[in-house]
């Protein structure tokens, strides 16, 4: 019975996905985005977010398009089409602010994004087991060459175990922290304090990507570029 229900749900989801794609192909973009949104309440994957982003872009809703492209890349950092469409959509917004990371940070993130969190974790565990096997080989072997080979194998496996473990931790933070958001309102004035009476510091526009620093009573402290200020939490949506 469980197998039959699972198969029915899978076939139903596939049919809904095809119907959404058909609506998009026929130019019924609002209907397509509504169907993609409904599918995303049941399952989340990069393809759904990417297609939803395309549907919103066709409707001229840049903030929602950028948000969905970013979410697609959070699930699949190597999604080339989502990267391309995100870069194109960002050229259409008012505040196209690109954060310049240190080159070592960019290099480390590119390596981390080669595999998923689960893959990095499994690889780290396998390397740890290999390191233990090398230590046992070193302790139990009587041949000098075998002891030397086991010793080197153990420390090399342990080194890569640490590296893969750090990548797994970084991937976990990337997938769960959600400290980045997209401005969803047309124009938002960032305040000096979490209050409407605060001084206007700078202005943000729809589609701008910000980093969340702090949340307080319906207000969010955000950072974009070198600017930092408070905006209402209703004016943005987390990636």
Domain ranges of the chain: 2-90, 104-176, 180-238
Give CA–CA dist 8/81, Å, rounded: 30
Q: Which of 114, 149, 150 is nearest to 135 (CA)?
A: 150
> What burial class does residue 36 get, using C-beta atoms within 10 Å of its C-beta: 0-12 exposed, 13-18 middle, 19+ buried?
buried
Q: Taking the model in full, what pTM does it have?
A: 0.76
**Rounded to 5 degrees, what are φ and ψ at 214?**
-160, 150
Helix (H, G, I), strand (E, B) or coil at 162: helix
| Per-residue pLDDT tens digits for 93-141 | 887 665 556 677 778 888 888 888 889 999 999 999 999 999 999 999 8
**What contacts 121, CB < 8 A, 6 or more positions away?**
165, 168
Say what the pLDDT of residue 11 is. Answer: 52
CATH of region 2-90, choose from 2.40.10.340, 2.40.30.200, 3.90.1150.10, 1.25.40.10: 1.25.40.10
Say what the pLDDT of residue 8 is. Answer: 44
User: Domain 180-238 belongs to what topology?
Assistant: SH3 type barrels. (2.30.30)
Low-confidence ranges of the chain (pLDDT < 70): 1-13, 96-102
Give CA–CA dist 16/34, Å, rounded: 11
Say what the pLDDT of residue 70 is. Answer: 95
CA dihedral 13, 16, 20, 22 (to 10 degrees): 120
Say what the pLDDT of residue 174 is. Answer: 77
């Amino acid at each position: 019975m469980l197998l039959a229900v699972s198969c029915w749900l899978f076939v139903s989801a596939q049919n809904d996905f095809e119907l959404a794609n058909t609506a998009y192909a026929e130019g019924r973009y609002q209907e397509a985005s509504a169907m993609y949104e409904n599918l995303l309440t049941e399952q989340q994957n990069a393809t759904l977010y990417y297609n939803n982003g395309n549907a919103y872009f066709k409707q001229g809703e840049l903030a929602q398009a950028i948000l969905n492209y970013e979410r697609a890349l959070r699930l699949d950092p190597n999604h080339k089409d989502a990267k391309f469409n995100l870069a194109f959509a960002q050229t259409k917004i008012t505040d196209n602010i690109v954060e310049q990371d240190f080159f070592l940070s960019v290099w480390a993130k590119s390596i981390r994004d080669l595999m998923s969190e689960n893959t990095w974790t499994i690889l780290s565990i396998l390397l740890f087991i290999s390191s233990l096997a090398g230590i046992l080989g070193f302790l139990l072997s009587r041949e000098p060459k075998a002891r030397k080979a086991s010793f080197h194998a153990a420390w090399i496996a342990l080194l890569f175990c640490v590296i893969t473990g750090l990548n797994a931790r970084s991937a976990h933070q990337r997938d769960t922290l959600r400290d980045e958001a997209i401005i969803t309102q047309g124009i938002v004035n960032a305040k000096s304090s979490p209050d409407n009476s605060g001084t206007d510091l700078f202005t943000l526009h729809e589609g701008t990507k910000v980093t969340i620093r702090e949340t307080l009573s319906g207000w969010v402290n955000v950072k974009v570029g070198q600017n930092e200020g408070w905006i209402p939490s209703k004016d943005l949506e987390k990636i």
